[in-house]
Structure 1
Amino acid sequence: MPFKSALIVGAGSGLSASLAKLMLKDGMQVALAARSTTKLKEFADLTGARTFECDAAQVYDVEKLFGDLDAARLTPDVVVYNPSYRVRGPLLELDPAEVEKTLAITAFGGFLVAQQAVQRMLPKGEGALLFTGASASVKGYAQSAPFAMGKFALRGLAQSLARELGPQGIHVAHFVIDGGIRSTRRPPDPDKPDAMLDPDAIAETYMQTLKQPRSAWSFEVELRPWVEKF
């Protein structure tokens, strides 16, 4: 593993936890950021990962997060952006405030986090930014306009940053998670084995991408169960 310290923003018990476990196993320091760290306490106690409260859509919160990481000597050379928020419904019934919140958390927060991370990566000429996308990153489903807007914007941000920052030594990658992720709230159907994405398997792909030599970097990786239509 070429990197030593990672920050996962929008951390929770699913993909983020799987990814944190693999990073810790590879000897990395891991910081987890979420709007509420209460749900992360048990995982942090078990693994030693550090937790930080942060609303990724708020400028002050993101600036404070990176300042706190610097002070704790946890300045990340890998940053994973996982937060998203969605509101569904017919166009004429959507609450503008909820649409604004969707865009702020799903996309604007990605910009804020990337800006702070890159400020610290550029002087070293290395680092990695990983953005978690969804089916909605490439397909705008009916009655899901806000989420499509947010995920399309996040993908656009990632594309732009990859072209700007790749030649400066920073690996930017976007992951299209095309399907439902298995969890305790969404258990697999025994009649359809492996019909949902295993968070541990997704995390393995993130780690493989991080370990790519710069002569063969991936920008976009699509992950879906073998039965998923696309």
Structure 2
Amino acid sequence: MQNRPSIARRAPNGALSALDADGNTASIEPFDDVAHPGAPDQGDHAHGLKGVNGASDIQHDAQHEPLSPDDPFAPLPFNPYKGNRGLTRAWHAMKNSLAGFRVAIREESAFRQELTLAAILIPCGVLVPVEPVSRVLLLGSVLLVLIVELLNSSVEAAIDRISLERHELSRRAKDLGSAAVMVALGMCVMTWLLLVGPLVVRWVKAWL
């Protein structure tokens, strides 16, 4: 079969004709290769279909690709320090906790002050004549101050580990930690004033 020229037109009677390179008109047989101006070639059309199928194959393969480390659903990397189980894990956790207390007492002056305050308030909370629920609130408010201070110290240590330069985000993180400590202290003061304050007023009136 001979390929016909690349330009086709329709005659007034409806028949298709083509112009060859010399400008002569020739009839078009069925299944001749005729390219209309502006129409994509069959090879390009096949290539386009192949491209669509290839895109679908790539998308299908992408669904089975491993998750990147930044993906929140990606598995965490293996940590050799997390391999302990049972009593061994509890023993190491206790040693790490005691080490944290030693570092906080040695390095954090605010924690030392709050620990001194706790050493005074906890015995008072145990001895004061209040209901069991009120006693729990008194002791819990004091322990909450220590907990928040330890968390604040850990945030400050992590920020200093990243960088010691002055940065707005670092300052904001430390200020937020200090604000959390202040809220815990305010809660402690409010709890003791509401639960122990009336008893102190009553004792002072009785003594006078």
Please report the TM-score for the alignment, with normalisation by the length of structure 1: 0.24
Question: Rg larger in 1 or in 2?
Answer: 2
Between Structure 1 and Structure 2, the one with more helix by share is: 2
Between Structure 1 and Structure 2, the one with more strand by share is: 1
Please report the TM-score for the alignment, with normalisation by the length of structure 2: 0.26
